[in-house]
């Protein structure tokens, strides 16, 4: 999928990696305040305890975390997709 950089929808200062599907992209700095809320559930707190760089480079992870904070629940498919994405980011990419 082709990707390019697009200005943040909120601050109009930072560029964010986007694809043709992304309409309203926001940078990490704009969503940082919302996502810094303490999570009460210990199981979910452990799941969301990943390095900050992962949240900076992947908007999907930010979206899932914000969804949990807003609605206090996630579907099984969302949890699995989150874990798979984290696994992919942990693996070093092999580029020739």
- pLDDT tens string 5-18: 889 999 999 888 88
Per-residue pLDDT reduced to its tens digit, 23-37: 888 888 988 888 888
Domain range annotation of the chain? 28-90
- DSSP label at residue 72: S
Between CA 45 and CA 57 the distance in angstroms is: 20
Residue 59 has pLDDT above 50, yes or no: yes
Distance of CA 95 to the CA centre of its chain: 24
Between CA 72 and CA 40 the distance in angstroms is: 10
Residue 76 has pLDDT above 90, yes or no: yes
Per-residue pLDDT, 23 = 83
Per-residue pLDDT, 96 = 45
| Average of per-residue pLDDT values in the chain | 88
């Amino acid at each position: 999928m082709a990707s390019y950089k697009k200005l943040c929808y909120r601050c109009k200062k930072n560029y964010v990696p986007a694809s043709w599907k992304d309409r309203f992209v926001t940078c990490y700095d704009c969503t940082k305040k919302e996502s810094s809320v303490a999570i009460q559930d210990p199981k979910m707190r452990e799941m969301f305890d990943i390095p900050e760089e992962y949240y900076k480079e992947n908007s999907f992870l930010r979206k899932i975390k914000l969804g949990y904070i807003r609605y206090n629940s996630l579907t099984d498919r969302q949890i699995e997709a989150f874990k798979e994405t984290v696994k992919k980011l942990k693996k070093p990419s092999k580029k020739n």
